[in-house]
Every structure is written in C-alpha cells, then in structure tokens.
Amino acid sequence: MTARDGAPAYIIAARRSPVAPRGGALAHLQADELAAPVLQRLLLDAGLSPTSVDHVILGNALYAGGNPARLAALRAGLPAAVPAMTIDTQCCSGLDAITLGVRMIEAGAADCILAGGAESFSRSPIRMHRPAARDAEPAPYARPAFAPPPFDDPDLTDAAARLARDRAVPATAQAEFAVASHAKALAAKSRHADRLVECVPGVREDDFTRPLTLKTALRAPVLAGSDGCDLTAATIACEADAAAAVLLVSERSWKRSGRSGLKVAAARSAGGEPSDPALAPIGVASSLFADLGKTAADFDIVELMEAYAVQAMVTIEELGFDTDAVNRHGGALARGHPIGASGAVLMVQLFEQLARTSGNAEETGRRQGLALIAAAGGLGSGMAVEAVICDRKREVAR
C-alpha cells in the first residue's frame, strides 16, 4: 500500500480549472471539454511532449457510462495510441484515479501518466430506468443505489444530518466552519490568480467563493436535520463543474526532469459502513498513519473534503488534526463539489502549497501533506505526499 512496496511515483505538475456552481460560468462545457485544457497545461508545465504519456486516467461520477477520459485525451491532442480509462467511485473518483496511476508506476507498467477527475453537473445526463414492460414509461431517478439490501443506503444529506444529530454538532458551529472556509479561500484567491486553467476565456477564479458572514450563513435555507443541528445551504457544498489533474512520473523520469514536486509516500482506499459514509476517511487516515509510522501531527498541510461541514468537523476531531493545518486555502464549502473531480482538486491544492514555490519548504517548514475524501456507499480514499527538490543530481527531502 506504500511507495516502499515498489518504485515510488512523483507528481511534477498539477493543475485545475476554476470551480463553478452548477449552471454557472462553465455550464456549457462537457466533462471532457473541462479536462482537455487541464491536460494540455500539465504537459506544457513539465515541458513534455504528448508522446511521452503512457496512460490517461480520469474519475467521473455522473455520466453513467462512456469514457470521458478518452474524449479528453483526444481533445487535448494526445496521440490516438495513448490509452485512457474513466473510473467511477463517486466522490473518491478523482483521487482514486491518481492512486491507480501511482500503482501503475510503482509496478513498472508506466513511466508517465495524466490522472485526475472531471465533472460537469451542468451537462450530466438525465437519468432514467428503462421500463421492464414495453408499454411502461421510463422512470427517472436522481441517483443510483450505492448499497444493496439489506444494507442501509441513505441519502447522503440525510446521513450527514444524522451525523450532526448523533454527534450534537450545532448548526451555529457548522455555519462558523463554513464562514471560515470562505474566508480562507478569499485570502488565497490572489495566489491562484495565474494558476487556474482557463476553460472559458475570462473565467480565472472560483466564482462561488464570497465574503460569507455568520449572520448570512445562519439565514441560509435549512435542507436537512433538526433539533438545532440543521444542515443548510451554507453548510453543504454546492453542486459544481470542474476538472483537475496531476502529472505522475517514475523516479527515473522525475530525476531527469530536474523539477521539484511531490513524492507519493502512501495511498489507500477502504470501505466502511454504507450507512455512515462520512466516517470512511477516518479509517483510511488511521491506516495511512500506521503504514508510514506517523500521526496526525506529522502532517503540515491536510486537504480534507468538505462535502458537509459536519463531515469535515467530525473527521478533524476524530483524527486530532490541528485545525490550522486543514484546508489552509479554504475547502469545498467555499468552492463547490464537482463530485468526480473533487479528490483531484485536493491534490492540486496540496501541490500548490507544498511544491509550487521554490524554497517554500525552507520558508515555511511544510513538507508533509495528506488528502482525504469520502464517497457514497461508505468509501474513503487518502494519499500522503512529501515535498521534494530535484537538482538532477540528488534528491533532497524538503
């Protein structure tokens, strides 16, 4: 489960599009149209030719079939000979796609992989069940089943509301968490000014982020819950469109590149109870800590998915993270939740904070990073990385 089991993989470039709410600035683009310019920019950043790519792997949760990764690869100008696959583990898809790329490099099956996720809530297909009888009408559905009987398969928002009630997490505390997420994201906007890939001319930032006040957050419509532990439109991440990806390479290619980046120290996916999907990352993180001989305190930067404020709050408390280390640049409550891309967004955020700026580790002392995300059906995924410098002659852990 760790890089020690095989040759390590390195991330030498990471990019994402802006995240836009469903029906917003990116609404006319399909998932592959969002991903293609991101893939192109990764190769440009690394100074690599499209012919260097061995595989493209993208996560996508809402398209109900097809292969958006192949469409994105061809649209990005990659040779037709480069294979591409799309995986669906719902919210974990983007991070799981990166993990799959890591495993291929560790196994020696690839040298250079583009991996991440892409999602367009705005353009996703309308879902309908084909009728069993010829004279019956197709039945529309909002989401597929994530667990079969006799397992409990709750609506994710209902499950989060139950978590808030069971853990007695007040609506006010959830609102305060959301306000802080927006504040951190606003403060970081200038740092992303030239980092986000323009899929639409002029759209250069996450346009959902705003100066949210506690008063406004508390007035947001209640969407689920009761007894003072309500979930509102401010404490649930909005449906969104985006693409994000990283460029993974082998150790040999990393040394040849001479680029600073992230060494993948460990990655893990795991399952938990379908009835409590929000808790799955807790077990994943505990396993990663055991793999690496680390504790929560050893991670300088933690990118934790904020599908629900209560989900992130309980995870932080259970694992004992320093709140100052979590989502330093804001989270999904301030950006939006582009399902299949969200896990990849977390990795881009880690790259920005750990590897993007030369000398960053020397200035801040931040070297270790962790990404964690939960998914429907009781799935969780995580990845631990370490910032590294390469001068073509030697590796220096940052």
Q: What is the DSSP letter of 151?
A: S
Verify whether residue 28 is a known catalytic residue.
no
Chain mean position to CA 60: 11
Residues 6+ apart with CB under 8 A from 283: 270, 272, 380
Q: What is the DSSP letter of 296?
A: G
The backbone torsions φ and ψ at residue 114, rounded to the nearest 5 degrees and listed phi first, read: -100, 125
Are the C-beta atoms of residues 243 and 59 closer than 8 Å to each other? no
Verify whether residue 337 is a known catalytic residue.
yes
Element (H, E) at 379: strand 379-390
Q: Residue 50, exposed/middle/buried by CB under 10 A (0-12, 13-18, 19+)?
A: middle
Cα dihedral 103→109→110→113 (10° resolution) = -40
Provide the b/e sequence for 285-307 (b: ≥16 CB within 10 Å): bbbbbebbebebeebbbbbbbbb
Q: CB-hemisphere CA count at 13 Å for 42?
A: 35
Catalytic residue among 55, 192, 329, 337: 337
Residues 6+ apart with CB under 8 A from 390: 254, 255, 257, 258, 259, 260, 261, 396
Catalytic residue among 91, 199, 238, 390: 91
Rounded Cα distance between 21 and 5, Å, is 40
- Residues catalogued as catalytic: 91, 337
